[in-house]
Amino acid sequence: MNGDRLPPLPPERWSDAQREEAEAIIRGPRGALISPFVPLLRSPELMGHAQRMGEYLRYRSAIGLRLSELAILVTAQAWSQPVEWAIHAPIALHEGIAAPTIAAIERGERPAMLSDDEAIVYDLSTELQRDRTVSDATWQRAIAAFGEQGTVDLVAINGYYTLLAMVMNAARTPLPAPR
């Protein structure tokens, strides 16, 4: 596999639209133009819409940070997306997802020990990524646990991080430098 197809653009080469959208990301909770947005900068309006959706889904979704991070890891593993994994595995650990759970997901295995809410997130996300649908039983468990808004947010987290995975896989976005 050859290198990065859409590497970072130097800020002095940004168009006005690129600058406006990049600065919005930098001023927001991410604090920097991080890996997924580097290739998206080529389409600044798309990047702006995507980052606003992602900001809601990552930081304010109805299911909370811990469960959002679990769904992100399932998506990253399903799409073999190393950048998403490198960014979100440490965040998931920090938010309370157990290290053995993270390791099992990385291996493509169902974790042995999941809380009830984690099991629902894992099952819905896995079914959605693998089967492209969700069984009635899993759907009903999600609705009972998270309500309609939380369930829709969970589905959207899977979709949003699938979009980022597809963009980064196609662009061959490299792993971020260690902090």
- pLDDT, one tens digit per residue, over 124-136 is 999 999 999 999 9
176 located within any domain: no
- Percent of the chain past pLDDT 90, that is, above it, reads 96
The arithmetic mean of pLDDT across residues 153-157, rounded, is: 98
Please name the amino acid found at residue 56: Y
Q: How far is Cα 111 from Cα 120, in angstroms, rounded to an integer? A: 12
User: 28: domain range?
Assistant: 11-59
The upper half-sphere exposure of residue 82, i.e. CA atoms within 13 Å in the direction of its Cβ, equals 8
- Any idea what the CATH number is for the domain that residue 116 is in? 1.20.1290
Q: How far is Cα 139 from Cα 90, in angstroms, rounded to an integer? A: 28
Pair (77, 126) in one structural domain:
yes
Q: Give the per-residue pLDDT at 2.
A: 74
34 located within any domain: yes
81 located within any domain: yes
Pair (78, 103) in one structural domain:
yes
Phi, psi of 161, rounded to the nearest 5 degrees: -75, -20
Whether 87 has a pLDDT exceeding 70, the answer reads yes
Pair (50, 68) in one structural domain:
no
- pLDDT, one tens digit per residue, over 14-29 is 999 999 999 999 999 9
Whether 179 has a pLDDT exceeding 80, the answer reads no
Q: Give the per-residue pLDDT at 176.
A: 83
- pLDDT, one tens digit per residue, over 101-120 is 999 999 999 999 999 999 99
CB neighbours of 108 closer than 8 A, spacing ≥ 6? Answer: 77
Whether 1 has a pLDDT exceeding 70, the answer reads no
Strand ranges inside 30-92, DSSP E: none
Strand ranges inside 53-111, DSSP E: none
Pair (125, 78) in one structural domain:
yes
- pLDDT, one tens digit per residue, over 38-47 is 999 999 999 9
Please tell me the pTM assigned to this model: 0.95
The count of structural domains within the chain is 2
The arithmetic mean of pLDDT across residues 58-71, rounded, is: 97
Pair (69, 149) in one structural domain:
yes
| pLDDT band (50, 70, 90) for residue 177 | confident
Q: How far is Cα 95 from Cα 89, in angstroms, rounded to an integer? A: 10
